[in-house]
Amino acid sequence: MPFELDIGLVSRAGRAPHNEDFAAVQPADDHTRVVAAIADGVSAGGRGREAAQTSVASLVRDFFCTPATWEPTVALDRLIGAQNAWLHGINRRRQPAYGLTTLTALVLSGQSFTLAHVGDTRAYLLRQGQLEQLTDDHVMGGTDFAHRLSRALGLEDRIAIDYRQGEVLPGDVFVLLSDGVHNVLTPRQIARRVGEAGGAQSLAEHLADAAWQQGSRDNLTALVVRVQGVQDATLDDITRQAQALPPLPLLQPGSVIDGLHVEALVADSGVYRVYRVYRVHDGRSGRRYALKTLHTQRAHDREEWAALAHEAWVARHLQTGPAAPHLVRVHTLAEVALAATAVPGESALPQPVPSPSASASASASASASPSAFYLLYDWVDGETLAQWLARRHRPAVVQVVSLAQQAARILGSLHRQGVVHRDVKPANLLCGPDGVLRLLDLGVALTGREPAAVRALHAGTASYVNPEQWDDPPAPADAGSDLFALGVTLYQLLTGRLPYGEVIAYQRGRYWRDPVPPSRHNPQVPIWLDAIVLKAVARSPAQRFETAEELLLALERGAARPLALPAPSPLSVRDPALGWKLACLFSALLNAVLVYWLLFLPR
Where in the sequence numbering do the catalytic residues fall?
A: 423
Q: Return the half-sphere exposure (C-beta side, CA atoms, 13 A cut-off) of residue 357.
A: 3
Output DSSP code: residue 352. P
- Sort residue 215 into left (φ over 0), alpha (ψ -120 to 50) or beta: left
Q: 151 φ, ψ to 5°?
A: -140, 140
Q: What angle do CA 295, 296, 301 make, to 5 degrees?
A: 85
CA 552 and chain centroid, separation: 29
How would you list the strands of the sheet with 383-384, edge to edge?
383-384, 429-431, 437-439
Q: What's the rounded Cα separation, in Å, for the pair 589 and 261? A: 74
Q: Which of 72, 135, 75 is nearest to 108 (CA)?
A: 72
Identify the CA nearest to 116 among candidates 72, 54, 60.
Answer: 72
Q: Between 333-342 and 358-367, two packed helices, what is the crossing angle to 10 degrees? A: 110
Nearest in space to 422 (alpha carbons), one of 414, 433, 430: 414
Task: Determine which helix (DSSP H) or strand (DSSP E) holds 221, and give its type and residue range.
Answer: strand 220-229
Can you say whether residue 128 is alpha, beta or left, with left for phi > 0 and alpha for psi between -120 and 50 degrees?
A: left
Q: What are phi and psi of 8, to 5 degrees?
A: -130, 140
Residues 71/63, Cβ–Cβ less than 8 Å: no
The closest of 129, 216, 141 to 177, measured between CA atoms, is 216
Closest CA to 482 of 526, 435, 436, 441: 441
Q: Contact, 180 vs 219, CB < 8 A?
A: yes
Burial class (CB in 10 A: 0-12, 13-18, 19+), 560: exposed
Distance of CA 177 to the CA centre of its chain: 34
Residue of 260, 537, 578 whose CA lies nearest to 424: 537
Q: Spell 202-213 as b/e; 16+ CB within 10 A means b.
A: ebbbbbbebbbe
